[in-house]
Amino acid sequence: MPNNFYLGIIGVGGVGNAFLEQLGKIPFPPSLVLLARSSRTLLAPLPEYSPSIPISKWEQAIQNDFLIQRGSLDPHEIAEYLAAAPGPAILVDNTSDLELARAYPLFLRRGISIVTPNKKGFSGEIGLWNDIFTSATEGNALVYHQCTVGGTLPVLSTLRDLVATGDQIISIEGVLSGTLSLLLGTYMPGSGDSKAKWSSLVSHAREAGETEPDPRDDLNGLDFARKLTIIARVIGLDINGPDEFPVESLIPAELRSLPSNGKGIEQFMSELPAFDFRMDEARDAAIKQDKVLRYVGSIDVPTRSIKVGLKQVDKGSPLAGLVGSQFLSVYTKRYSETPLILQGGGGGGEITAMGLMADLLKVMGRLR
Amino acid sequence: MPNNFYLGIIGVGGVGNAFLEQLGKIPFPPSLVLLARSSRTLLAPLPEYSPSIPISKWEQAIQNDFLIQRGSLDPHEIAEYLAAAPGPAILVDNTSDLELARAYPLFLRRGISIVTPNKKGFSGEIGLWNDIFTSATEGNALVYHQCTVGGTLPVLSTLRDLVATGDQIISIEGVLSGTLSLLLGTYMPGSGDSKAKWSSLVSHAREAGETEPDPRDDLNGLDFARKLTIIARVIGLDINGPDEFPVESLIPAELRSLPSNGKGIEQFMSELPAFDFRMDEARDAAIKQDKVLRYVGSIDVPTRSIKVGLKQVDKGSPLAGLVGSQFLSVYTKRYSETPLILQGGGGGGEITAMGLMADLLKVMGRLR
């Protein structure tokens, strides 16, 4: 694969750092010509777009006089810079920024391909989704967002293959949150019940870095619902996002008005134990039915029914066995008797970065 | 996607027919210019390679005066014909012919891409494997053989993604034969033991068309071992094929010298019941350990240990739950705590054809 690709990266957090580390190790890396984080942007000098930013030593490169230092650029400036590169340009968006996602059509129409784990552009208004893919066709650019769903599990590519080859999706059931998979799997193991307290599991997971900084971002089910929205669209349901279907929040109603700042988090964590009885009721109800409690999303295509929330599942079923893994099962016209199943240890920076890297390699393979 | 691809298909059996049916339904099909089955070859006329063979009506097209009718062509003649087409040429090999597989390097070096479920070229001598991929690079052609393993499960693409992004595969365990998965899953369900007789299960599966025409082709484990060989190579182990590792045959030693013709099949089926006690012993041993008997393949990368055969697996494990599905679990440096799991209802003509079609669409996407 010739090294004639020009890469821009926006966002250098956990995923971004892991991605840069992996990028430094592939045999024929693209030229890194733009690297933006918070209010600083590093650029390879014009008109040659060379020397490029040293991938493994970009932090030291900030002191490098050969590179251009700028403040934060707006999407038009970034598009201008990348579109004029002397070879195919690819933008990796490592943020979770909706505004940047709204600029994808701008990049794509100018022939800049997009690789991203940012769910915002794919799970909001259906208009933006359509605009993104129409613009990609117009600009002869590619948009790969495999790791918006399921970490590195080949969820979207497998569903796209099924649809593209003329199969008909009948129903999908999945656990698309590694955090909720871990919490529920510990709270109620598939092998039997436990005496675990819900609020202390949440607290421990938070301390171990296994939740978002604000655990309510996991517990409200919204991130999960965004992933399910993306899946629904990939299989052809033109829904307008998580507002259109029921999403059961595991945040007690009484605590939903707490502020979303650090003080709000602390107050939420200290008040959560008083609501443990609610989860216990749900667990007891499952025990009575000889079932196991899981947080599950499902799509039934014939009825266009989509939902996310707690569900009693059969003991011994794959869903009952989950403790932290993500999971997807798909029934189709061809997979009608036994479903197609994908399962794997959730996200995490390194795993998401790997999904990104796999997408980048595919884009380079297709643009060569 | 512009319709400027020229397609040759060799082999019109179960998979080939299902593939042609799916091909007739995709939005922008390639031009079908060569269709070979047994001793007849249908060709689009030179020099225009037009009109092409009507995909959905190729059987009627045999009577069509506009098409060229030939006997069976040798690989050189096929390569000559396809390489001169006015656009990228792709050959779909639907046979299980080793001789044709030996000609892949010839096709690839002339720029003809290969899409195939034929395992022979990828699981025999390592020299041919190397020659195939070197020739593809030289000829700037692609070789996709996703459905040599796992039907339409994204086994090989997922493993290639892991390796390409710098992950390290530690161990792989899988059930790569839908037939053996069904036989063992029925003989000893994950939920507990059964009184099923091994030989009558084999006999029923054969009558239901769930085994190869000669069930010994499933029971000897060789097809399974070929798939494991392909997996081993994809993750970087340069092994020379199933001769290099232990493969436990489920054909009783006393019956291995029976001829491979129809009469041999009948004799095998009639003598098999006398050996049911062997499988019963293995089942009883598993019951004593509170385990379940499965036919499993495994690769341990650090020790380069590969094997295929009966194994006692834990009750409640995903392997214990299999009844007919194929299954793969992968531990890697990144997936170190919980494995990556792929699972799905085995092969069958329509499913294999779908894997082929997905590969063909990817090849066309990359060659556009």
Cα–Cα nearest to B293, from B305, B306, B281, B277:
B281
Question: A241 with A112, same domain?
Answer: no
Question: A148 with A161, same domain?
Answer: no
- What is the spatial distance between Cα B345 and Cα B154, in angstroms, rounded to a whole number? 13
Q: How far is CA A286 from CA A12, A198, A289, B75, B196, in A?
A: 43, 15, 5, 63, 34
**Catalytic annotation, residues of A:** 227
Cα B242–Cα B245–Cα B250 angle in degrees, nearest 5: 75
Q: How far is CA B149 from CA B92, B115, B240, in A?
A: 16, 13, 17
Cα–Cα nearest to A322, from A227, A201, A182, A187:
A182
Q: Which among B167, B343, B357 has CB closest to A354? A: B167
- Say what angle helices A222-234 and A155-164 make with each other, to 10 degrees: 20
Q: What is the pLDDT of residue A65?
A: 78
Stretch A125-146: mean pLDDT:
96
Q: What is the pLDDT of residue A1?
A: 38
- What is the spatial distance between Cα B338 and Cα A199, in angstroms, rounded to a whole number? 24
How many CB pairs below 8 A link A and B? 121
**Bridge pairing between strands A169-175 and A325-332:** antiparallel
Question: A211 with A336, same domain?
Answer: yes
Helix (H) or strand (E) holding B135: helix B126-139
Question: B123 with B174, same domain?
Answer: no
Question: B88 with B103, same domain?
Answer: yes
Cα–Cα nearest to B247, from B183, B186, B187, B177:
B177
- What is the spatial distance between Cα B343 and Cα B349, in angstroms, rounded to a whole number? 18
Asked if the model's pLDDT at residue B1 lies above 50, the reply is no
Test the A interface: residue of B159, B160, B161, B333 with most A CBs within 10 Å: B161
List pLDDT tens digits, range A24-76.
988 889 999 999 988 899 999 999 999 999 998 888 877 777 899 999 999 99
Residues of chain B in contact with residue A354, where contact means CB-CB under 8 angstroms, are: 161-162, 165-167, 334
What is the pLDDT of chain B when averaged over all its residues? 92
Decide if B288 contacts B312 (C-beta within 8 A).
Answer: no
- Say what angle helices B262-271 and B198-207 make with each other, to 10 degrees: 150
Cβ partners under 8 Å of residue A332, min gap 6: A162, A167, A168, A169, A170, A340
Tell me phi and psi for residue A112, to 5 degrees: -90, 120
Q: In what order do the strands lie in the sheet with B325-332?
A: A305-314, A291-300, A169-175, A325-332, A340-345, B340-345, B325-332, B169-175, B291-300, B305-314
Tell me which long-range contacts B184-187 makes (C-beta under 8 A, separation of at least 24): B184/B293, B184/B294, B184/B295, B184/B322, B185/B294, B185/B322, B185/B323, B185/B324, B186/B323, B187/B279, B187/B283, B187/B293
**Bridge pairing between strands B6-10 and B89-93:** parallel
Model confidence at B151, pLDDT cuts 50, 70, 90, reads confident
Model confidence at A156, pLDDT cuts 50, 70, 90, reads very high
**Bridge pairing between strands B143-144 and B169-175:** unpaired
The ipTM of this complex is: 0.86
Q: How many domains does chain A have?
A: 2
Asked if residue B233 belongs to a domain, the reply is yes
How many C-beta atoms surround the C-beta of residue A39 within 10 A?
8
Asked if residue A19 belongs to a domain, the reply is yes
Q: Which tokens in the block code for residue A307? A: 């939902």
List pLDDT tens digits, range B174-205.
999 999 999 999 999 987 778 899 999 999 99
B323: nearest CA partner in chain A: A338
Tell me phi and psi for residue A123, to 5 degrees: -125, 5
List pLDDT tens digits, range A70-113.
999 999 999 999 999 999 999 999 999 999 999 999 999 999 99
Residues of chain A in contact with residue B341, where contact means CB-CB under 8 angstroms, are: 325, 341-344
Our CA-based measurement puts residue B328 at a distance from the nearest CA of chain A, in whole angstroms, of 10
Test the B interface: residue of A152, A165, A343 with most B CBs within 10 Å: A165
**Bridge pairing between strands A6-10 and B325-332:** unpaired
Question: B145 with B73, same domain?
Answer: yes
- Say what angle helices B349-367 and A155-164 make with each other, to 10 degrees: 100
- Sign (positive or negative) of CA dihedral B147, B153, B157, B159: negative
Question: A294 with A320, same domain?
Answer: yes
Q: What is the pLDDT of residue A2?
A: 42
The answer to which of A189-198, A254-263, B10-19 has the lowest mean pLDDT is A189-198
**Catalytic annotation, residues of B:** 227
Decide if A346 contacts A151 (C-beta within 8 A).
Answer: yes
Question: A315 with A214, same domain?
Answer: yes
Asked if residue B289 belongs to a domain, the reply is yes
Domain containing A129 equals 6-152+350-367
Q: Residue B212: left if φ>0, alpha if ψ -120 to 50, beta else—which one?
A: beta
Cα–Cα nearest to A357, from A109, A122, A30:
A30
Question: A94 with A188, same domain?
Answer: no
Asked if the model's pLDDT at residue A3 lies above 70, the reply is no
Asked if residue A175 belongs to a domain, the reply is yes
Q: The tokens 């505004």 sit on which residue?
A: A99
Q: What is the pLDDT of residue B138?
A: 97
B270 CB burial (10 A radius; 0-12, 13-18, 19+): exposed
Q: Which tokens in the block code for residue A298? A: 């499902």
Asked if residue A1 belongs to a domain, the reply is no
Asked if the model's pLDDT at residue B3 lies above 60, the reply is no
List pLDDT tens digits, range A168-190.
999 999 999 999 999 999 999 98
Asked if residue B1 belongs to a domain, the reply is no
Asked if the model's pLDDT at residue A153 lies above 90, the reply is no
Cβ partners under 8 Å of residue B3, min gap 6: B28, B29, B30, B31
Residues of chain B in contact with residue A335, where contact means CB-CB under 8 angstroms, are: 344-345, 351
The CATH number for A57's domain is 3.40.50.720
Decide if B75 contacts B107 (C-beta within 8 A).
Answer: yes
Cα–Cα nearest to A339, from A172, A220, A123, A158:
A172
Q: The tokens 């667990």 sit on which residue?
A: A283
- What is the spatial distance between Cα A117 and Cα B321, in angstroms, rounded to a whole number? 33
Residues of chain B in contact with residue A334, where contact means CB-CB under 8 angstroms, are: 152, 350-351, 354
Any CB–CB contact under 8 A between B278 and chain A? no
SS (H, E, C) chain A: CCCCCEEEEECCCHHHHHHHHHHCCCCCCCEEEEEEECCEEEECCCCCCCCCCCCCCHHHHCCCCCCEEECCCCHHHHHHHHHCCCCCEEEEECCCCHHHHHCHHHHHHCCCEEECCCCHHHHCCHHHHHHHHHHHHHHCCCEECHHHCCCCCCHHHHHHHHHHCCCCEEEEEEECCHHHHHHHHHHCCCCCCCCCCHHHHHHHHHHCCCCCCCCHHHHCCHHHHHHHHHHHHHCCCCCCCHHHCCECCCCCHHHCCCCCCHHHHHHHHHHHHHHHHHHHHHHHHHHHCCEEEEEEEEEECCCCEEEEEEEEEECCCCCCCCCCEEEEEEEECCCCCCCEEEEEECCCHHHHHHHHHHHHHHHHHHHC
The CATH number for A338's domain is 3.30.360.10
Cα–Cα nearest to B42, from B3, B4, B5, B81:
B81
Q: Supply the Cα-derived Rg of chain B in whole angstroms.
A: 22
Question: A202 with A126, same domain?
Answer: no
Helix (H) or strand (E) holding B310: strand B305-314
- What is the spatial distance between Cα B168 and Cα B334, in angstroms, rounded to a whole number? 8
List pLDDT tens digits, range A184-222.
999 999 877 788 999 999 999 999 988 989 999 999 999
List pLDDT tens digits, range A309-353.
999 999 888 899 899 899 999 999 888 888 999 998 766 777 888
**Bridge pairing between strands B6-10 and A143-144:** unpaired
Q: What is the largest CA-CA distance in chain B?
A: 71
Model confidence at A241, pLDDT cuts 50, 70, 90, reads confident
B189 CB burial (10 A radius; 0-12, 13-18, 19+): middle
Question: A179 with A135, same domain?
Answer: no
DSSP B247: B
Q: Which tokens in the block code for residue B355? A: 């894997």
Any CB–CB contact under 8 A between A276 and chain B? no
Cα–Cα nearest to B154, from B349, B365, B341, B368:
B341
Asked if the model's pLDDT at residue B236 lies above 70, the reply is yes
Any CB–CB contact under 8 A between B25 and chain A? yes
Asked if residue B177 belongs to a domain, the reply is yes
Asked if residue A318 belongs to a domain, the reply is yes
Cα A159–Cα B14–Cα B323 angle in degrees, nearest 5: 60
Question: A340 with A245, same domain?
Answer: yes
Q: Helix (H, G, I), strand (E, B), or coil: what is residue B349?
A: helix
Q: What is the pLDDT of residue B2?
A: 42
Cβ partners under 8 Å of residue A80, min gap 6: none
DSSP B213: S
Decide if A335 contacts A133 (C-beta within 8 A).
Answer: no
Asked if the model's pLDDT at residue B61 lies above 80, the reply is no
Which A positions 336-355 lie with beta carbon below 8 A of chain B? 337-345, 350-351, 354
